[in-house]
Amino acid sequence: MPVDQIPIGTFSRITHLSQKALRLYDERGLLVPAARDICTGGYRYYTFAQVERGGIRIRHLLWLGFGLSEVEAILEARERGDAGTIREHFARRLAETEREIGRLHAIAEVLRTQDPLNGGFRMSITEPVIKDIPPATRALSRRERGCLPGGDSENDRGNLRLCLSCRRAAARCKGDRPIMFICHDEEYRETDADIEVALPIAGSVNLDGTAIGVVTLPAGRFASVLHTGPPYPGVGKAYERLFAYMNEHRLVPAGPPSRELYLNDPAEVPEDELLTEVQFPVEDLPPLSP
């Protein structure tokens, strides 16, 4: 074996990358072995020149929180001498990190200051009411399969993209009402959920060149409650209060799907002042038999 051929086990120890990870990077073309021994079923060998790419650059970028596809793009940009692309990736990752720092600071503050008997929740929930919503509301709509919101940065980036696409389209018409988040599934689906973001509008709208459509939101009788505070996980308490109210008043879930209305902008108010209205479609239970 040539001196400059390092077996995968030794290369793993040098770079602090597991053999499983090295095989994955090989499959993706991210870090391909310099040689393979066909007599031993393709046993992988690396070179000392690959230590910097594998042990330093890849591991460092992963430590910074980049995904493998981002690592690939950054290393390819480095090989091209494309500093602008690398700066863009770093700027996005910095923004994500700062958002996560803010979220963790908020969690730390709740854990530090809240009454443990109240579950650590700092919020207020109004008394539920019944609303009869007419069918005349037109809205910009984008519906697709995705992940439900809840604090995961990858999921929330996708949901933010849905919201932003509706807001951009709203700039072309009269659309100053709160954004709605609608889940069309009958059961909870953490991934591959049938989700829709809708923004009520008035007036005509030109949506050429966008993935946005215009829908008429269905009418219905809804139980409604207003939650003040961080939407996740606190909005779960709003649903809990809503279902207790439904049970007390002999109401049962009905179609169309439930809605969450985001009444103010998290970029403009503190988390403790965020307003989320939960609307759940209901109908009366049949009368009890005598």
pLDDT of residue 154: 44
CATH number at residue 62: 1.10.1660.10
Q: What is the DSSP letter of 67?
A: -
pLDDT of residue 148: 66
Q: Are residues 71 and 171 in the same domain?
A: no
pTM to 2 decimal places = 0.55
Helix (H, G, I), strand (E, B) or coil at 138: strand
- Enumerate residues 6+ apart whose C-beta is below 8 A from 123: 227, 228, 229, 230, 234, 237
Q: Are residues 67 and 131 in the same domain?
A: no
Q: Are residues 128 and 271 in the same domain?
A: yes
| Residue 229 placed within a domain | yes
Alpha carbon 230 to its chain's center: 15
- Enumerate residues 6+ apart whose C-beta is below 8 A from 285: 250, 251, 252
Winning range, highest mean pLDDT, from 3-12, 22-31, 86-95, 121-130:
86-95
Q: Are residues 167 and 238 in the same domain?
A: yes
Domain boundary at 58, 80, 102, which? 80
Query: Total structural domains in the chain?
Result: 2
Which amino acid is it at 8? I
| Residue 177 placed within a domain | yes
Regarding predicted confidence, which is higher, 258 or 123?
A: 258
pLDDT level of residue 55 (50, 70, 90 thresholds): low
**Angle value at C-alpha 130, between 148 and 137, nearest 5 degrees:** 65
Q: What is the per-residue DSSP string for 177-231?
A: SPEEEEE--SS--SSSEEEEEEEEEBS----TTSS-EEEEPPPEEEEEEEEES-S
Cα–Cα distance for residue pair 251/244, rounded to 1 Å: 10
Q: Are residues 76 and 156 in the same domain?
A: no
Q: Are residues 56 and 199 in the same domain?
A: no
Over the chain, what is the mean pLDDT?
77
CATH number at residue 234: 3.20.80.10
Q: Are residues 230 and 154 in the same domain?
A: yes
In which element (H, E) is residue 281 found?
strand 275-284
pLDDT of residue 86: 92
Structural domain harbouring 138? 124-284
Q: Are residues 68 and 143 in the same domain?
A: no
Lowest mean pLDDT among 39-43, 156-160, 214-218, 238-242: 156-160
Q: Are residues 68 and 134 in the same domain?
A: no
- Residue 129 burial by CB count (10 A; 0-12/13-18/19+): exposed, middle or buried? exposed
| Residue 184 placed within a domain | yes
pLDDT level of residue 159 (50, 70, 90 thresholds): very low
Q: Is the pLDDT of residue 224 over 90?
A: yes
Lowest mean pLDDT among 102-116, 127-141, 168-182, 191-205: 168-182
- Enumerate residues 6+ apart whose C-beta is below 8 A from 21: none
Q: Are residues 166 and 235 in the same domain?
A: yes
